[in-house]
Amino acid sequence: MEKTKKPGQYRAFQANVLVYIYELPVMDHYIFYSESKFFGQKVYVGQLIGRDPKENPQALEEFKKFAQWKGFIPENIIVPEQRERCVPEVHSDAPKNCKSEANSASDEE
């Protein structure tokens, strides 16, 4: 990604995608918003990003306000369910050293 002259705006994929990063009033939560053209059609995507894997109702409410402001159709907003959290066994970023918390709890018993 390349930074542009506008604060919080970046260009990606050889300038075909504009990416915006919005900091929310909810601590450690951001919205990544992108605009691009795909087969001649404009495509807009917004993602709520947070550090904590638990769902934050306040952050989700802020995201809904953002989506309404941008004109997103409410039926097109998907809220995926967090199923498990990946916790490294060893302090390494290698994916092979990662297991779910459920497995971690059973290993400790």
Partners of residue 36 on adjacent β-strands = 17, 43
Q: Which of the two residues, 94 and 89, has the higher pLDDT score?
A: 89
Token pair recorded at residue 102: 């459920």
CATH class as words, domain 2-78: mainly beta
Residue ranges covered by each domain of the chain:
2-78, 84-109
Residue 72 burial by Cβ neighbours in a 10 Å radius (0-12, 13-18, 19+): middle
pLDDT 10s digits, 60-72: 899 989 998 998 8
pTM of this structure:
0.64
* Confidence at residue 79, expressed as pLDDT on a 0 to 100 scale: 75
* Average pLDDT, integer, range 40-62: 86
